[in-house]
Amino acid sequence: MRYECVKAKSLLSKPHVADSWFHMNRSLNAYRGCEHGCVYCDGNSEYYHVDNFYSHVRVKENAATLLRKELKKLGFTSKSELETETLWSFLDDEDAKRIAEKVPRKLVIGACGGVSDGFQQAEREYKITYRILEVLLDFGMPVFILTKSNLVLEYIDLLKEIHERSFANVVFTITCADDEVQKVFEPNASSSSERFAALKEIRKAGLFGGVMATPIIPTIGDKVDNMTKLAKATKSANGEFIQFGGMTLKPGRQKEYFMRVIKRRYPENYDALVRIYENNNTYGQPIWKRLPANVMVLGRHVCQQVGLRDRSVRHKIPHEYDSNNKVLGVLLDIIFRMNMFFGLPRSVTKPYWEVAAKIERGVEDLSKLQSEGQIDQHLIIDSSMKVTVEEILEKGTCKVLQNLEARIDRMVDTELDADISASPDEFV
């Protein structure tokens, strides 16, 4: 393994607005390259321009300093600066509130990225992620972590401090219930059972946490048995949810490496996988009709059997209104269901996304606006969207989401043979 210390020029990603997958606003990579060596890893594709992805890890040694600078540039002030520059501790609550109101709304920072795991082995030596988390604590930023390593447990005290100031949401990627199968596909990550044990500890410590069961490998992981075991283990670790997802294979390095491993370890699955991905789609999308199972639909079914949420949870950001968080959570569920289950065009999800984005950027308390009859003026929405928002405020859900979920449940009943190109009109 080759580690190379590099000076990064920038760290934070462009803003993620109304992100219906991970509910984060910005993300970062402490490292480039990842020694976990997952056979299906998207980061290995040419798309990310990281050569020798699995064996050459670039360590961003200046990441914490850079993050501090970038957060300040975005208008945030750290607690340590407030204490020295404004004698924060002598301010009464009202003064403190006024100062807090002048700083921008907190961002959920994903201390993970597409091209690395922040808790890979290099972290033991360089502690870049640890220093990043210290900065995020100082700035009071909520943190989202996605990892395949139980090394995260060594930082539990720091994460608890973050959770006290804002929140820490630690999500484990776990795709194979069987540790032996998992070792084939994620050779250097913690075993699946270690990750479930780590999730249990995270939850015991009072932090948020769940499981992203993605990518589920077609013909191997998409069996009811594997998926049910994953859901049951998540539930017994007290995870908040398990969210299933399929696998993309970009043509080139990523697909070639994956197929070589399949040929060697699962020769009986090789031909089927070649056929599923023979379209060489630029984004790695499979030929949907050739998939043995729709893992999203099966995942919902499995979660219903086990009694577990099949969707990630949107948590309230500090100083955010409860009602706004409630509406955002449902709108993001709608967008996710429309996109991932039905592949509906952007023109259908756009109105929901626009309202979600508006709320996320900051509007008044929606409950208050509702009681004053001012929701449509503030959100600038039409009457049907107003009905949806008001329904969510009153019931915590709405007809659009209920219709989508009812349709998904019917897809389960018809054993995944349903027409997935449903008409948008069916949901509104």
The site map against ligand SF4 for 160-189 (x = CB under 6 A) is -----------------------------x
- End-to-end CA distance of the chain: give it in Å, rounded: 54
What strands, in cross-sheet order, belong to the sheet with 31-32? 2-6, 56-60, 31-32
Residue 253, class by beta-carbon neighbours within 10 Å (0-12 exposed, 13-18 middle, 19+ buried)?
middle
- CB 1, CB 33: distance < 8 Å: no
Residue 285, class by beta-carbon neighbours within 10 Å (0-12 exposed, 13-18 middle, 19+ buried)?
middle
CB of 114 to ligand SF4, least distance (A): 7
The residue (of 15 and 114) whose beta carbon lies closer to ligand SF4 is: 114
CB of 37 to ligand SF4, least distance (A): 6
With CB under 6 A as the contact rule, the residue among 34, 356, 375, 385 that binds ligand SF4 is 34
The site map against ligand SF4 for 65-104 (x = CB under 6 A) is ----------------------------------------
Strand 31-32, strand 56-60: pairing: antiparallel
Q: Where are the alpha helices (DSSP H) in 205-266?
A: 224-236, 253-265
The residue (of 41 and 133) whose beta carbon lies closer to ligand SF4 is: 41
The alpha carbon dihedral of 49, 53, 57, 61 has a sign of positive
- CB 312, CB 21: distance < 8 Å: yes
CB of 247 to ligand SF4, least distance (A): 11
Token pair in block for residue 244? 């299933």
The residue (of 258 and 321) whose beta carbon lies closer to ligand SF4 is: 258
| 75: enclosing H helix or E strand | none
| 128: enclosing H helix or E strand | helix 128-138
The one segment of 33-41, 62-70, 241-249, 287-295 that binds ligand SF4 by CB under 6 A: 33-41
With CB under 6 A as the contact rule, the residue among 58, 106, 148, 314 that binds ligand SF4 is 148
CB of 229 to ligand SF4, least distance (A): 21
Per DSSP, the three-state class of 32 is strand
With CB under 6 A as the contact rule, the residue among 25, 64, 117, 195 that binds ligand SF4 is 117
- CB 308, CB 242: distance < 8 Å: yes
Q: What are phi and psi of 372, to 5 degrees?
A: -95, 5
CB of 375 to ligand SF4, least distance (A): 41
Told to check if 250 binds ligand SF4 by CB under 6 A, we report: no
Q: CA torsion, points 145, 149, 155, 158, in degrees to nearest 10? A: 10
The residue (of 126 and 139) whose beta carbon lies closer to ligand SF4 is: 126
The one segment of 30-38, 57-65, 285-293, 382-390 that binds ligand SF4 by CB under 6 A: 30-38
**Residues 36-55 within binding reach of ligand SF4 (CB under 6 A):** 36-38, 41, 43
The residue (of 27 and 116) whose beta carbon lies closer to ligand SF4 is: 116
CB of 280 to ligand SF4, least distance (A): 21
The residue (of 32 and 232) whose beta carbon lies closer to ligand SF4 is: 32
CB of 231 to ligand SF4, least distance (A): 21
Per DSSP, the three-state class of 280 is coil
- CB 25, CB 19: distance < 8 Å: yes
With CB under 6 A as the contact rule, the residue among 116, 192, 214, 294 that binds ligand SF4 is 116
Interacting residues toward ligand SF4 by CB under 6 A: 34, 36-38, 41, 43, 116-117, 148, 189
